[in-house]
Amino acid sequence: MTAQLIDGIALSKQLRTGIAQRAAVLQAQGTQPGLAVLLVGDNPASQVYVRNKVKACHENGLHSLLEQHPASLSEAALLSRIAALNNDPTIHGILVQLPLPAHMDAHRVIEAISPAKDVDGFHVASAGALMTGTPGFWPCTPYGCMKMLESIGCNLRGKHAVVIGRSNIVGKPMALMLLAQSATVSICHSATPDLAAITRQADVVVAAVGKVNLLTADMVKPGAVVIDVGMNRNAQGKLCGDVDFAGVSQVAGWITPVPGGVGPMTITMLLMNTLQACEQASGQPAAA
Ligand code: NAP
């Protein structure tokens, strides 16, 4: 079997067209959706990520405010910037790029963001909303994975979905989103003794670990949907995911590539959350 590709670039393009249209409506009514991106320090990967987020805003009718601070910035100074942005009516979403320098408490910083502007979905209020099935912002990466599953018409009800990884930003929220769609969900992690025995039962596998070739063809049920969240460099320095794409695509029914899969979807869902925050602030009903 040769898997069909779930193209994150094409799906993003389609979703971003809708986002740009909704942003134009808001702007015509006098409010342009705005995202503030706070970067502390000079981590090269973080610089690339924030640049891509700001660029995506500009290309789709959102305005963005990029604040770059030196690594020596005090936590108190960062918290006071967040407080100011919480009260800034031109800013609807606030994103603090992680990781933060070691002298800062990332949890305290994220909790300082108003839940109404928590477009990364990392605040405990957002996590609690996801857990309880009440309205709130979903973390962008698993939200993007759900949109990819929706785009191929994957009905998750009664399916066995296996999530590999249990981080707060990907694995755990991913599992909750799949559960909300009535999948039977298994969460695997570094202490899972026989990963292959579990993934072989999966109708849907989401790999979110950060290890090259973690998921190989012998670990996948024929016809399964495989979503690769991983972002790694292989021995040749090439960007790749957690899935052995060449092998697994011979077995799976659907597969996401890396690059061009989950990565672009993450930024798209950030735009979507920011737009939604703006619509909510403007008193408009939510439209996912
Ligand atoms: P993380 O916080 O490091 O979590 C990794 C998870 O993988 C942990 O839960 C860990 O288990 C588990 N794990 C480690 N080795 C394992 C093994 N051999 N078998 C099974 N599970 C194992 O990473 P993250 O932030 O969730 O990110 C995961 C990957 O996704 C990374 O490559 C990251 O770069 C990528 N990512 C991509 C995007 C995107 O937009 N494409 C966004 C976010 C993250 P323990 O909990 O037991 O340690």
CATH number, domain of 73, equals: 3.40.50.10860
Encode pLDDT of 244-270 as tens digits.
Answer: 999 999 999 999 999 999 999 999 999
Of 119, 149, 174, which residue constitutes the final position of a domain?
Answer: 119
pLDDT in tens, 168-219: 999 999 999 999 999 999 999 999 999 999 999 999 999 999 999 999 999 9
Summarised one tens digit per residue, pLDDT across range 12-67 is 999 999 999 999 999 999 999 999 999 999 999 999 999 999 999 999 999 999 99
pLDDT surpasses 90 at 276: yes
Last residue of one domain, picked from the residues 53, 88, 119: 119
Q: Are residues 91 and 46 in the same domain?
A: yes
**169 CB less than 6 Å from ligand 1?**
yes
113, 188: one domain: no
Q: How far is CA 130 from the centre of its chain?
A: 14
Does ligand 1 have an atom closer than 6 angstroms to the CB of 261? Answer: no
Q: Say whether pLDDT at 125 is over 60.
A: yes
Whether residue 151 sits in one domain with residue 48 = no
Residue 212 lies in a domain: yes
Q: How many angstroms separate the alpha carbon of residue 259 from the centre of ligand 1?
A: 17
Q: What is the pLDDT at residue 50?
A: 97
Average pLDDT, the chain: 97
What confidence tier does 283 reach under pLDDT thresholds 50, 70, 90? Answer: confident
Whether residue 69 lies inside any domain: the answer is yes
**Domain for residue 269, yes or no?**
no
Residue 208 CA to residue 31 CA, distance in Å, equals 37
- What is the position in ligand 1's atom list of the atom closest to the CA of 166? 9
Residue 94 has pLDDT above 70, yes or no: yes
- 170 CA → ligand 1 middle, Å: 8
**Residue 288 belongs to some domain of the structure:** no
Note whether 163 and 236 are same-domain residues: yes
Whether residue 20 lies inside any domain: the answer is no
- C-alpha to C-alpha distance for 275 and 288, rounded to whole angstroms: 10
229 in contact with ligand 1, CB cutoff 6 A:
yes
How many independent structural domains does the chain possess?
A: 2
Q: How many CB atoms are closer than 10 A to CB 146?
A: 22
Same domain, 99 and 155: no
Range of the domain at 170: 140-263
Residue 133 pLDDT greater than 60, yes or no: yes
What pLDDT is recorded for position 284? 78
Same domain (yes/no): 240, 155? yes
- Give mean pLDDT, residues 111-116: 98
Please check whether residue 130 lies inside any domain of the structure.
Answer: no
Determine, yes or no, domain membership for 214. Answer: yes
CA of 165 to the centre of ligand 1 (A): 5
Q: What is the pLDDT at residue 39?
A: 98
Whether pLDDT at 287 is above 70: no
What percentage of the chain carries pLDDT values higher than 90? 98
pLDDT digits (tens, 9 = 90+) for 225-251: 999 999 999 999 999 999 999 999 999
pLDDT of res. 286? 61
259 and 146, same structural domain? yes
Integer angstrom CA distances of residue 47 from 51, 81, 129, 239: 6, 19, 30, 17
Residues 148 and 207 reside in one and the same domain: yes
Residues 90 and 198 in one domain: no
Shared domain check, 156 and 112: no
Q: What residue's CA is closest to ligand 1, atom 16?
A: 190
Question: What's the gap in Å between 17 CA and the centre of ligand 1?
Answer: 31
| Boundary residue ending a domain (119, 153, 180) | 119
With a 6 Å cutoff on the Cβ, whether 165 touches ligand 1 is yes
Nearest CA residue ID for atom 35, ligand 1: 230
Tell me the pLDDT band of 73, cut-offs 50, 70 and 90: very high
From the CA of 148, how far away is ligand 1's center (Å)? 19
pLDDT of residue 288 exceeding 80: no
In a domain, 24, yes or no: no
Ligand 1 near 166 CB (within 6 A): yes
Active site residues: 53, 97, 120
Q: Are 104 and 186 members of one domain?
A: no
> Ligand 1 within 6 A of 188 CB?
yes
Domain holding 221: CATH number?
3.40.50.720
Same domain membership, residue 173 and residue 81? no
